[in-house]
Amino acid sequence: MLLEARNVSKAFGDFRAVAGADIAVEQGEIVGLIGPNGAGKSTFFNCLAGDTLPTTGRILFDGVDVTRAPPEAHARAGIGRTFQVPTTFDDMSVLANVMVGAFLRRPHRNDAREHARRIVELTGLRADQPARSLGTPSRKRLEIARVLASGPRLLLLDESLAGLTPGELPEAIALVRRIHRMGVTIVIVEHIMEVIMTLTRRVLVFNQGRVIASGTPEQVVRDEAVIEAYLGRGARRPRE
């Protein structure tokens, strides 16, 4: 098992954003994480990435307990993540952004630059463009490039494809596939069902801070509990 989280909870005061969530991801999988807004997906993600300290529970990465390790230790161990709201380094060029990621495993500038150039090419960005001038979809792409350059074994994508037009989606999906083929295990939070349906073979559905269903995308969308979570109780009741 590459990633295993058991009984993870995160409380903000009285509110439990994550309430006893579990996840287990095998090396080489693409796992989808879906759920209505406010289900606690991002908080759970932040716990997995070391950005938020869980109130309870344990998180193991490749058998090592990383529950209380800081985010930089997660990165060194091989857990990479993107942010729901893209946080690119706006004063720097696209290439320099990606180099910051590349420096993690390539301390020398020229090595890092070479590696970053390859990654930038792979993601279809323009190396010399200032990050400030990018639109939101390109920023998300830059985030992917940046974390990819840091050489992760597990990539946590937090709505990286949100905001793309239907025309841009296939290219983005192809990019995620390419990253997967490079041997990177992926957990992806996404609202666009097309993305989940085409990319993943296993989906976890989050609601009110815990996993309420899991299975193939086809199974999950027919699940009673899932429909209720998205549409509310009685959605299935025939109209009178």
Rounded CA separation 203/211 (Å): 10
Which residue type does 179 have?
Answer: I
Decide if residue 89 touches another protein (CB under 8 A): yes
- DSSP conformation class of 93: B
Ramachandran assignment for 29, one of left (phi > 0), alpha (psi -120 to 50 degrees), beta (any other): beta
Smaller CB separation from another protein, 109 or 126: 109
Residue whose CB is less far from another protein, 38 or 70: 70
171 is an interface residue for another protein by CB under 8 A: no
The burial class, CB within 10 Å (0-12 / 13-18 / 19+), for 64 is exposed
- Contact between 52 and another protein per CB under 8 A: no
| Cα–Cα distance measured from residue 197 to residue 173, given in angstroms and rounded to the nearest whole number | 11
Among 96, 127, 162, 227, binds another protein (CB under 8 A): 96
Give the residue with the Cβ less far from another protein, 96 or 227. Answer: 96
Q: What are phi and psi of 42, to 5 degrees?
A: -65, -40
Contacts of 102 (CB under 8 A, 6+ apart): 111, 112, 113, 115, 116, 119, 149, 150
Minimum CB distance to another protein, residue 146 (Å): 6
Instruction: Confirm or reject binding of residue 147 to another protein (CB under 8 A).
Output: yes
Half-sphere exposure in the Cβ direction for 92 (13 Å, CA) = 14
Of 47 and 212, which has the nearer Cβ to another protein?
47
Q: Find the shortest distance in angstroms from Cβ 203 to another protein.
A: 25
List of residues 6+ apart from 133 with CB closer than 8 A: none
Our finding on whether 68 is near another protein (CB under 8 A) is: no
Q: Which of 146, 159, 186, 203 binds another protein (CB under 8 A)?
A: 146
Which of 3, 25, 34, 49 lies at the binding interface for another protein (CB under 8 A)?
A: 49
Amino acid 39 reads A
Check residue 16 for interaction with another protein (CB under 8 A).
no
Q: Indicate which single residue of 12, 26, 28, 76 sits in contact with another protein (rule: CB under 8 A).
A: 76
Whichever of 90 and 171 has its CB closer to another protein, that residue is 90
Which residues of the chain form contacts with another protein (CB under 8 A)? 49, 51, 70-72, 74-76, 80-81, 83, 87-92, 96, 99-101, 103-104, 107-109, 112, 146-147, 150
